[in-house]
Each structure stands twice: as structure tokens, then as C-alpha cells.
Amino acid sequence: MFEVLMFLFENYMDSNAGVALKASNDTVALELERVGFGRLEIDRALDWLEGLVLTQKAIQDFETPVLVKSMRFYTWDESECLSVSGQGFLLHLEQLGILDPVTREVVIDRAMALDVCAIDLKQLRWIVLMVLFSRPECKNALMLLQEMILAEAFDVVH
């Protein structure tokens, strides 16, 4: 399913509409099948994206101020899926101001929705990118994360 999500992110995401796909789900599913993805994988990926949209809508409706200083304790299931390095990565992004507590929770929710036993750092980075991309108000955070990932990829020292 993760490969389908990456393919969709790279090829179908509309920068103006966030996570909204440029084409209908049926059209996208047919093209993904032509590319070689299985129908079950496609359906699960589209469900994952729908969950992201629903989560984002719920956040917009929830207008309670978020405490900037919060401590996140991971459940046993979350700790099984998100390694210590993954949890540290999310904490690091929070400390840099790339993630706020609400966005962190969306990332964790979408990571757990992948339904895999262990999420590696590469997958977690993609999830963070997709979540930030789907939130127009996080444009600056998205740019910071992209710069950080590119700097790592090219071993740039600042």
C-alpha cells in the first residue's frame, strides 16, 4: 500500500487542493491497475487518503488552542510500529517547529493506519510530507522539512 501512496503523492496530488486528487478515485484506480498495482493495495491507499482528509476536516472543526509545550507518551502499539529513532525524528521535527502537537498526532494516526508492524524512517518521512502537504497552513513547515531531507540526501552541512 505504501508504494501506491508514494506513487499517488508524486503523480496525482494537486498543490492547490492539498490532498485532493486531480482525478476521480475510479479513474485513478484504473490507471494504477494499468501501472501494475493490485486492486486491494489501491483501495487501501485510497482509504488511507480518505482518512487523512477526514482527519484534516476534524482538526479544522476543532478550535481548541494547542499547548506548545506538550509531552507525547506512545502507546504500546505505537511503540511497536514507530521505532525509537522514528519517535525521536518526530520529536526533533517538533523542536524545530516543523510539526506542532496536532500535526504530530495526524502523522502518528496516519502511520498507524498503514497497518504495518514496523515503519522505517523513510516511510515516516513520506508520511510527514504527505500530512504537511495536505495542510495549506503548514506551507513553511513543509519547505523546512523538504530542505532538511534534501540536505541529508546530499550531506550538506549548514
pLDDT value of residue 14 = 58
* C-alpha–C-alpha distance, residues 98 and 92, integer Å: 9
pLDDT value of residue 69 = 67
pLDDT band at 63 (very low <50, low <70, confident <90, very high): low
Average pLDDT (17-28) is 60
More confident residue, 39 or 148: 39
pLDDT band at 17 (very low <50, low <70, confident <90, very high): very low
Task: Give tens-digit pLDDT for 87-127.
Answer: 999 999 998 888 888 889 999 999 999 988 899 998 998 89
Average pLDDT (79-90) is 94
Average pLDDT (26-37) is 89
pTM, two decimals, is: 0.78
With a cut of 60, say whether residue 23 has pLDDT above it.
no
Q: Decide if 151 contacts 116 (C-beta within 8 A).
A: no
Q: Which long-range contacts (CB under 8 A, 24 or more apart) does 74-78 make?
A: 74/108, 77/112, 78/108, 78/112
Q: Decide if 133 contacts 12 (C-beta within 8 A).
A: no
73-78-79-80 Cα dihedral, nearest 10 degrees: 170
pLDDT value of residue 38 = 93
* C-alpha–C-alpha distance, residues 47 and 42, integer Å: 9
* Percent of the chain scoring above 70 in pLDDT: 73
